[in-house]
């Protein structure tokens, strides 16, 4: 199974999933149709599925045009069937959907939007996390509350450590700056930041990241850690309060 990131709009990633064994091609969160069409034509392949993590325009903007051109099926969360354009296949939390021959676990992760989902390819250990978990960051809370968002992040934390995380935006550099501000003595983070700088200076994606690294480096996944609580003078506070604080700090960063 091959995943190809296609940069769209200013900082979005749309991903092409191609499984040569089952000859199945999918696209995750097509912000726009044209860059996807260009890629598919260059590779001389057609599109079977359009997978949407949530209904925001920068994730579904290409649905209609791609569906029309390739007769592809649009798949999205049942709760968002009225606002995901051209939806054909509705899926529920915890459902197992099959892409070619690959089982895909649907994980409902509300907070950024109420109907946000993660597509987790179980065999391949690949997760599409949309705007919920970014590399070194997390999405803004628009439709849910902090408790929901933290709960959603905790669901992702429980996936296998070697899971590759493919998220919706290239925000990694800015996210790294924020993480560095509060965990400047995290040596692994410093190393990672150098890698990120190098990649971005060559205009290369920092995606995918590995869940194991996110657990060590992503401040939003570390609100249960003693060192972070101490650093924020929140030693005896609940994880949720620490998460709320970190999210607020990031909103005004
Ligand atoms: Zn979004
Ligand atoms: Fe987005």
Give the Cα separation of 133 and 116 in Å (integer). Answer: 11
Q: What is the pLDDT of residue 75?
A: 98
Residue whose C-alpha is closest to residue 80's, from 49, 42, 45, 106: 106
Residue whose C-alpha is closest to residue 100's, from 77, 121, 131, 74: 121
Round the average pLDDT of the chain to a whole number and report it.
97
Average pLDDT of the residues in 67-82 = 98
Q: Examine the residue annotation and report whether 56 is marked as an active-site residue of this protein.
A: yes
Q: String of b and e for 97-112 (b: at least 16 CB within 10 Å)? A: bebbebebbbbbbbbb
Q: What is the pLDDT of residue 125?
A: 98
Give the Cα separation of 107 and 124 in Å (integer). Answer: 16
Give the Cα separation of 61 and 51 in Å (integer). Answer: 12
Q: How confident is the model at residue 114 (pLDDT cuts 50, 70, 90)?
A: very high
Ligand 2 centroid, distance to 5 Cα (angstroms): 15
Ligand 2 centroid, distance to 29 Cα (angstroms): 9
Q: What is the pLDDT of residue 136?
A: 98
Q: Examine the residue annotation and report whether 146 is marked as an active-site residue of this protein.
A: no
Q: How many other CB atoms are there within 10 angstroms of residue 128's CB atom?
A: 27
Q: Examine the residue annotation and report whether 54 is marked as an active-site residue of this protein.
A: yes
Secondary structure element (H or E) that encloses residue 150, with its range:
helix 146-157
The ligand with the least distance to the CA atom of 114 is 1
Give the Cα separation of 114 and 79 in Å (integer). Answer: 8
Active-site choice (55, 59, 108, 116): 59
Q: What is the pLDDT of residue 145?
A: 97
Secondary structure element (H or E) that encloses residue 241, with its range:
helix 239-251
Q: Examine the residue annotation and report whether 59 is marked as an active-site residue of this protein.
A: yes
* Domains in the chain: ranges and CATH: 2-251 (3.60.15.10)
Return residues with CB closer than 5 A to ligand 1 (ion): 56, 131
Average pLDDT of the residues in 123-144 = 98
The set of residues, in sequence order, having a beta carbon less than 8 Å from that of 175 and lying 6+ positions away, is 134, 135, 136, 137, 218
Average pLDDT of the residues in 138-146 = 97
Helix axes 172-182, 239-251, angle to 10 degrees: 120
The ligand with the least distance to the CA atom of 14 is 2
Ligand 1 centroid, distance to 173 Cα (angstroms): 18
Q: How confident is the model at residue 216 (pLDDT cuts 50, 70, 90)?
A: very high
Give the Cα separation of 133 and 140 in Å (integer). Answer: 10
Q: Examine the residue annotation and report whether 224 is marked as an active-site residue of this protein.
A: no
Return residues with CB closer than 5 A to ligand 2 (ion): 58, 131, 168
The pTM of the full predicted model, rounded to 2 decimals, is 0.98
The ligand with the least distance to the CA atom of 170 is 2
Ligand 2 centroid, distance to 167 Cα (angstroms): 9
What are the structure tokens assigned to 48, written together?
A: 């079977």
Ligand 2 centroid, distance to 235 Cα (angstroms): 33
Active-site choice (19, 29, 58, 80): 58
Ligand 1 centroid, distance to 230 Cα (angstroms): 32
What are the structure tokens assigned to 77, written together?
A: 């969360």
Ligand 2 centroid, distance to 95 Cα (angstroms): 24
Ligand 2 centroid, distance to 131 Cα (angstroms): 5
Q: Examine the residue annotation and report whether 169 is marked as an active-site residue of this protein.
A: yes
Distance from the Cα of residue 208 to its chain's centroid: 10
- 85 close to 65: Cβ distance less than 8 angstroms: no
Q: What is the pLDDT of residue 199?
A: 98
Give the Cα separation of 115 and 87 in Å (integer). Answer: 14
- 245 close to 234: Cβ distance less than 8 angstroms: yes
Which residues are 74's β-sheet partners? 50
Give the Cα separation of 90 and 105 in Å (integer). Answer: 13
pLDDT digits (tens, 9 = 90+) for 176-196: 999 999 999 899 999 999 999
Average pLDDT of the residues in 108-129 = 98
């Amino acid at each position: 199974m091959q995943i190809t990131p296609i940069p769209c709009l200013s900082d979005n990633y749309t991903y092409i999933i191609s499984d040569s064994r089952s000859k199945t091609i999918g696209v995750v969160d097509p912000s726009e149709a044209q860059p996807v069409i260009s890629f598919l034509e260059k590779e001389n392949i057609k599109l079977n599925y359009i997978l949407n993590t949530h209904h925001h325009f920068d994730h579904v903007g290409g649905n209609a045009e791609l569906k029309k051109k390739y007769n592809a099926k649009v798949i999205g969360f049942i709760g968002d069937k009225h606002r995901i354009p051209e939806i054909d296949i509705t899926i529920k939390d915890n459902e197992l959907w099959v892409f070619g021959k690959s089982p895909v676990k649907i994980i409902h992760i509300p907070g950024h939007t109420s109907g946000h989902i993660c597509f987790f390819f179980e065999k391949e250990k690949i997760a599409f996390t949309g705007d919920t978990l970014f590399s070194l960051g997390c999405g803004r809370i628009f439709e849910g509350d902090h408790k929901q968002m933290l709960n959603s992040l905790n669901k992702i934390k429980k996936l296998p450590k070697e899971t590759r995380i493919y998220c919706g935006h290239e925000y990694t550099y800015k996210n790294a700056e924020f993480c560095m501000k509060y965990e400047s003595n995290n040596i692994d983070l410093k190393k990672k930041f150098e890698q990120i700088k190098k990649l971005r200076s060559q205009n290369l994606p920092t995606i995918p990241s590995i869940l194991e690294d996110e657990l060590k480096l992503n401040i939003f996944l570390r609100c249960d850690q003693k060192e972070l609580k101490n650093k924020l003078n929140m030693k005896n506070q609940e994880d949720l309060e620490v998460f709320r604080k970190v999210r607020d700090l990031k909103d005004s960063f």
